[in-house]
Chains A and B, each alone.
Chain A
Amino acid sequence: MARVRLDAVSKRFGNVTAMNAVTLDIADGEFFAILGPPGAGKTTTLRAILGLEKPDAGRVLLDDEDVTELWPGDRDIAIVFQNLALYPDKTVFDNLAFPLRQRKLPKTEIGERVQRAAKVLKIEALLGRKPAKLSGGERQRVAIGRALVRDPRAYLFDEPLSALDALLRLEMRSELKYLQRDLNRTLVYVTHDQVEAMSMADRIAVLREGAVQQVSTPEDVYHRPVNRFVATTIGSPPMNFLPATGRRHNGSVTVEHPSFTLRVADAGFALEDGAPCFVGVRPEDVHVGGGDAAIEATVFVTEPLGGETVVDLHLGDRVVKALAPPTARFAADEAVRIALDPRRLHLFDAAGEALVSAAGERLFELDVTG
């Protein structure tokens, strides 16, 4: 059981800053995801927790103990790697027992631990088989089992599903979430896949170029992203950004887009008169047709995905993605009217920092132009 903390950890490789003063406080028993594109510093962060990378600056703490100088073997943390490193000539049982034999545990205890892990992972029937006789998902379970038998203070998972095909990833996602809940142990999960992070984790840290952008719950990073990077990383299809201009007179703030104007109630943020900004709106908050729809747009293409249809629209010179029910049918170049849900809009400054997110509140009044 462990609370895992990084206190202003930095790590450089030559000219590349892999971690830039990364501070994280991961609670005991938490399912914590570290999300970011390749090169964001996710794996380096994981390796710093494990002790495989020595920070240039900052501290790593397990509970209240400073482990920055401690060897990996002395930290009692287990890791599951992306590339499943199983011994091909050993049976599943021997693969699971290997880390325990290395630590010279009594034979009966090894047997008990392997059986317990196999039961949790539903691989009891496979214990006598060799890895070559297993499916991708079964091999992944064995790799996880090798971490499980050790009963460590915390688990680290480095993109464990990325080598699996799409269907198996969908299945393993909920299985891992069940598993962590049953174990009730700290689990740090590194991924570049926002769906994995959103669906599994209690909290998500979004990383970019070695720097933490936001740490919060899935709901919060989705509805209150701190900047355009987080807003684009979370959600699929990604958030739309509409260039607009801030206006300020007599203390009231409006945001002008060629197709609409937003009146902002109680603006508690800095936006200069004439300053360029972006209105952010997620595809599911763009409604095509219907009673409130008054903004003119043109259909570019439609993408029927089965459960829903993505409608790509031209709004001025921008393509805006909207989500529509699967029954919706639009022709290319069809003139339509759309509505933006004012209670779901976001406002970003020219540098991409979030000024405000409505997140369900009545912060914006939207007037259609013309």
Chain B
Amino acid sequence: MSSITLQNLSKHFGRLRAVDNLDLEVPHGSFTALLGPSGCGKTTTMNMISGLETPTTGEVLFDERPMSKVAIGDRNVGFVFQNYAIFTHMSVYENLAFGLKSQPRRARADKAEIDRRVKAVAETVGLSAALDRPAARLSVNDLQKVALGRSMIMEPTIFLLDEPFSNLDSAFRAYMRAELKRIQHEVGQTMVYVTHDQVEAMGMADRIAVMDLGRLQQYGSPEDLYERPANTFVARFIGSVLNNFLPARYADGALHVGDGSVAVGDRRDVFERHDSAAGLTATIRPERVRVVDPGSDEATIRAQVTLVEPLGPKDIVHLEHQGTDVRVVVPPDRRPAIGSALGLHFDPAQVHVFDDATGLAVR
């Protein structure tokens, strides 16, 4: 187990700043996700942690010890990649034992010890019944378990996983998400998990570093990112249903959103102090908008239904308000008719406000 510290870490490829001045503290024993769209710098960051890439500037530290002079092989880092490299002519047992058997003779565990560790790891990843099976005959899903087990058996101090589930079908991904989270919980190893899939990051990680264009956007718990996004990028990127973005302005002690207004309560001082010459944008999650009678006093705004997307357990209802597409999540048994008018209630506590000039949350 190790903590990881990234200090002013940058990696430039010519004029491209793949990673730009990144500071990050990964506590030991934590499950941390590096999350962002393709090209955000997450894989480059991981490659600098492992030693595959040398930072242009800045430092990677394990347990406060600088790694710049430490070679990849001596960092005691375990990898699991998207494209698992499994020896298909070997059995599952031989694949798992391979790393231990290929160590230098003086450092090598004896046969009984190797056997004990292979069986323990097989138990953890759920391959006990498949140990004698040739790897060539495994399903894609089981191959990924072998890749995970082969890395685990070396007992690395840090575990790095780069989109390990992206080849798996969605049902098995949902299953592996829970499995991996439980494995990490049990072995207590520091895990850094790279993904572009916010569901994976939210579901598994204790802490998530959201990156875009080489820069850290926000670092926090899944709840932090969802409930308190630091900027409009995070507000848009996190969540399975596209967030609502509405033009807003602050005047006379109230926040005006569309043609309605939202009480600002104790946030009044924040808005009074804030210079919002560039304008404001308010967000409220589609699953947090409450549908009310359009004639009701509770309606913050009124809008017309334009489209319904049925998802099974819930519907996403699209509405039009002053030229803006507003989305609301409703149960399927309360699906409104296209063209009908609905009242939408915005709970002030669920409304987040961002400065249009900086994209940053006003708080």
- Residues on A lying within 8 angstroms of B by beta carbon are 37, 165-167, 170-171, 173-174, 177-178, 181, 194-195, 198-200, 218-219, 222, 232-238, 282, 284, 300-301, 303-308, 310, 312, 319, 321, 323, 326, 332
Interface contact A305-B240, CB-CB below 8 Å: yes
Report how many residues on chain B are interfacial, defined by Cβ distance under 8 Å.
45
A-B contact pairs, 30 of them (CB 8 A): A37-B169, A165-B37, A166-B197, A166-B198, A171-B242, A177-B307, A178-B307, A198-B311, A199-B309, A218-B312, A219-B310, A219-B332, A234-B312, A236-B174, A237-B171, A238-B171, A238-B174, A303-B181, A303-B202, A304-B202, A304-B222, A305-B199, A305-B203, A306-B238, A307-B226, A307-B287, A307-B329, A310-B178, A323-B313, A332-B185
List, in ascending order, chain B residues with CB within 8 A of A198's CB: 309-312
Report Cα–Cα, A301/B38, bound state, in Å.
29
Interface contact B311-A301, CB-CB below 8 Å: no
Report Cα–Cα, A332/B182, bound state, in Å.
9
Instruction: Pick from A236, A321, A326: contact of B178, CB below 8 A.
Output: A321
Nearest CB in chain A: distance from B213 CB, A: 13
Complex interface bits, B123-155 against A, C-beta within 8 A gives 1, otherwise 0 = 000000000000000000000000000000000
Interface contact B222-A321, CB-CB below 8 Å: no
Most chain B Cβ neighbours within 10 Å, of A165, A170, A219, A300: A170
Residues A282 and B309 in contact in the complex (CB < 8 Å), given A305-B240, A312-B178, A332-B182:
no
List, in ascending order, chain A residues with CB within 8 A of B203's CB: 303-305, 310
Instruction: Pick from A167, A194, A300, A310: contact of B242, CB below 8 A.
Output: A167
Interface contact A199-B310, CB-CB below 8 Å: yes
Residues A199 and B311 in contact in the complex (CB < 8 Å), given A166-B196, A167-B236:
yes
Other A-B pairs, 15, CB within 8 Å; known A199-B311, A307-B241, A326-B226 = A167-B37, A174-B318, A177-B309, A178-B306, A198-B309, A218-B312, A219-B310, A303-B203, A304-B203, A304-B222, A304-B223, A305-B202, A305-B203, A307-B239, A308-B287
Q: Which 4 A-B pairs have the closest CB atoms?
A: A303-B203, A306-B226, A199-B309, A312-B178
Report Cα–Cα, A165/B242, bound state, in Å.
13
- Residues on B lying within 8 angstroms of A by beta carbon are 37-38, 169-171, 174-175, 177-178, 181-182, 185, 196-199, 202-204, 222-223, 225-227, 236-242, 285, 287, 306-307, 309-313, 316, 318, 325, 329, 332
Interface contact A165-B311, CB-CB below 8 Å: no
Interface contact B316-A199, CB-CB below 8 Å: yes
Nearest CB in chain B: distance from A303 CB, A: 3
- Closest chain B residue to A195, Cβ basis: B311
Interface contact B309-A173, CB-CB below 8 Å: yes
- Closest chain B residue to A319, Cβ basis: B178
List, in ascending order, chain B residues with CB within 8 A of A37's CB: 169
Interface contact A307-B185, CB-CB below 8 Å: no
List, in ascending order, chain B residues with CB within 8 A of A219's CB: 310, 332
Report Cα–Cα, A263/B99, bound state, in Å.
53
